[in-house]
Structure 1
């Protein structure tokens, strides 16, 4: 780590634990900061808080008292999931106290250059591809961010011999100030997380912070097929590396005559790519652009694309039962992702969809639903999904309480050769703690169905 004394003796308030808050607390404590940890969960239900208390950290649990701001506070590290409408955060901002997320700490401390990847959809797939493509290059890739390992944990053992590939959400990026990647990637922008940001404009502004601190020596990789991405990247410094599935981009990535190209170099024929789905071609192009400028070898990229079939919860093949194939796409937490998953298949699709109601309608899902054989709707958005299915003219529409109830319903209305797809188009938090939990429940139910 670099500049390890920059936080020494600073008074830092950490609001919200979970993975990122816990990691940030431990790191700042080790670096000599005077920290106070505040979490809404009661201490007796909070193992992370108890662990921090045991090593000498001051911990206040059960509520977010405004009186914490009457003490010396140099800045606040906020868990990304806590909205800015939280009274404590709102008051801190009003008082001019800096509020950041832990990725800001990681950027300030990292000796390794960063590739930062964001977008409404495709972040995890692109990040995973990029890490694999960078293997065999001069720098050893490490993965961080939303995809698993907290960034400020990764930087503690990263050196100049490494490169960190980090997946970033709008929640994380909104809490950045000096965050500085070597390569910034913006995949796409769609109406998402409006319950958190309020408007698409503010959501886009949060995403665009990935470009804020680029220099002329850095790179920004942008999807030129997405007008919102182009608009948000207009003022970005550094070298623009465009990618497109529709038009040739001589300075970036594109498709020509059935093959993937980077600049003038043919990388691979599209038919030789193992990862299914037209939408994944954008993710592949983005990963190639981001890694080629950082020294990825063509042979390694080819090897990855010939063997990589996807990551868990992203159009993940689960099982075949009596000629029906089951796919888990629980990560599809918005309409764009669900549209992409449905379009990945030519066989009849039986769709399981629904989840957290963020206030939006599902009109943009209707064109994709016109290709769907049956819809099984569940969760808070059940009635909205049913409404969209009726508008699309879906022949078979069923209601289920949860995913686990929907799987046997989907099987009952299916025929040999059908695809049974969980692609919810909604977040999971109405019924499940995470999209992973929802996806695992789907997988377990499918496996139980096979055993019957």
Structure 2
């Protein structure tokens, strides 16, 4: 870790805890700052805050009092999930107090270069693929951000011999100042988190921050199939590395004659890749580009792509029973995420879907249900998804209480050669604490069939 004096004797407010807030507060305390932590959860129910209190850090819990701004803070480090409409944040910005996220702290102390990945879909898969490729290529990667350990915690331990591979959300990227990844990636851009950003333009602007500090010595890997991403690349100072599953590129990462290619080099046959789904080719191309730029050999890339079958809960291959293949795509918490899962398979699909009702309908799924031979619904949206299934012409539709009961029913409808796919198109919170819990219950139910 770099020893910096940037925060020595400065009054800093850490707003909101969770993992990132706890790590940021402890780090700033170590760097000599006068830290105050403010979290909405009461102290009696807040073991994280209690731990910081024991370290000698000032803790204020139970509410977010605007009066805190009268204490003369020189900086606020906020939890990414706290909106900018929060009265403390609004007041701080009016006073000209900088508001950062802990990703910025990580960059400032890190001896290791960063490979930053953002986008609407594919971030986790791409981040994991890059980590695995660099690991196979003995490049000593560390993984951080939404997918792994808090970035500033990883940066404390990193040396110049490491590469920090970090998944970045739009929320995190709104709070950077100098953060400059050696390699930046935007996988794709669709409508998302508009309840937070307000309008699409603000969401795109936040994502574009990943490359705003890059120079000609850095690389920006971008999706050449999307106009908005190409426009970001045009304004970037970094060396642009396009990738495309559709265009015949002369440079960058692309597909040609059944091969995935980098610049003019054939790296691997598409048919040899283990990870299913056309949408995953975007993730594979961008990950391959990052690996090649980091000096990873084709042999190491090939080994990963022949064996990597997916991130847990993201189109994860579970097992095969009686010639039926089971896939866990519990992380598909919206329609946009379920569509590529449905496109990933040529075999007939038994689809398990449903969950939290956010007020939307599911008609966008209809064109993609042609390969679905049976539909098992559950949760608050059961009737909505059932209606869509009927309109799509699915003959076998059944509603059950939950995911656990859906699995044996799906098996009954299936035949050898079929795919049984959990891809809910809904959040899990009507029945489960998280999509991870929902996915784990699916996996357990599948193994019970054996």
* TM-score for both structures, normalised by structure 1: 0.93
Aligned pair in 2 of structure 1 residues 12, 434: CA closer, same or farther (>3 Å)? farther
1:140 to partner: Cα distance: 2.0
Asked if 1:210 corresponds to 2:206, the answer is no
1:392 to partner: Cα distance: 2.4
Aligned pair in 2 of structure 1 residues 63, 177: CA closer, same or farther (>3 Å)? same
Deviates more, 1:201-210 or 1:432-441: 432-441
Aligned pair in 2 of structure 1 residues 61, 399: CA closer, same or farther (>3 Å)? farther
Q: Deviations over 1:163-216 (max 9, x none)?
A: 111111122112222221111100011222222222222222221111111112
1:87 to partner: Cα distance: 3.3
State the match for 1:288 in structure 2: 288
**Does the 8 Å contact 2:15/2:37 carry over to 1?**
yes
State the match for 2:157 in structure 1: 157
State the match for 2:391 in structure 1: 391
Asked if 1:421 corresponds to 2:421, the answer is yes
SS at match of 1:233: helix
CA distance in structure 2 between the partners assigned to 1:214 and 1:203 by the alignment: 20
CA distance in structure 1 between the partners assigned to 2:294 and 2:283 by the alignment: 17
List aligned pairs for 1:151-230, cutoff 5 A. Answer: 151-230=151-230
State the match for 1:332 in structure 2: 332
Deviates more, 1:73-82 or 1:390-399: 390-399
State the match for 1:351 in structure 2: 351
SS at match of 2:203: helix
State the match for 1:368 in structure 2: 368
CA distance in structure 2 between the partners assigned to 1:84 and 1:389 by the alignment: 40
Which consecutive residues of structure 2, in runs of 5 or more, have no partner in the other structure?
none
State the match for 1:435 in structure 2: 435
SS at match of 1:83: coil
CA distance in structure 2 between the partners assigned to 1:273 and 1:133 by the alignment: 14
CA distance in structure 1 between the partners assigned to 2:401 and 2:98 by the alignment: 43
State the match for 1:7 in structure 2: 7
* TM-score for both structures, normalised by structure 2: 0.93
CA distance in structure 2 between the partners assigned to 1:41 and 1:305 by the alignment: 44
Supply the RMSD in Å over aligned alpha carbons. Answer: 2.1
Aligned residues: 450
Asked if 1:42 corresponds to 2:42, the answer is yes
**Does the 8 Å contact 1:39/1:62 carry over to 2?**
yes
Aligned pair in 2 of structure 1 residues 195, 414: CA closer, same or farther (>3 Å)? farther
1:19 to partner: Cα distance: 1.3
List aligned pairs for 1:9-408, cutoff 5 A. Answer: 9-135=9-135, 137=137, 139-358=139-358, 360-408=360-408
Aligned pair in 2 of structure 1 residues 46, 431: CA closer, same or farther (>3 Å)? farther
1:94 to partner: Cα distance: 3.6
SS at match of 1:176: coil
1:372 to partner: Cα distance: 1.5
CA distance in structure 2 between the partners assigned to 1:197 and 1:362 by the alignment: 23
Aligned pair in 2 of structure 1 residues 94, 379: CA closer, same or farther (>3 Å)? farther
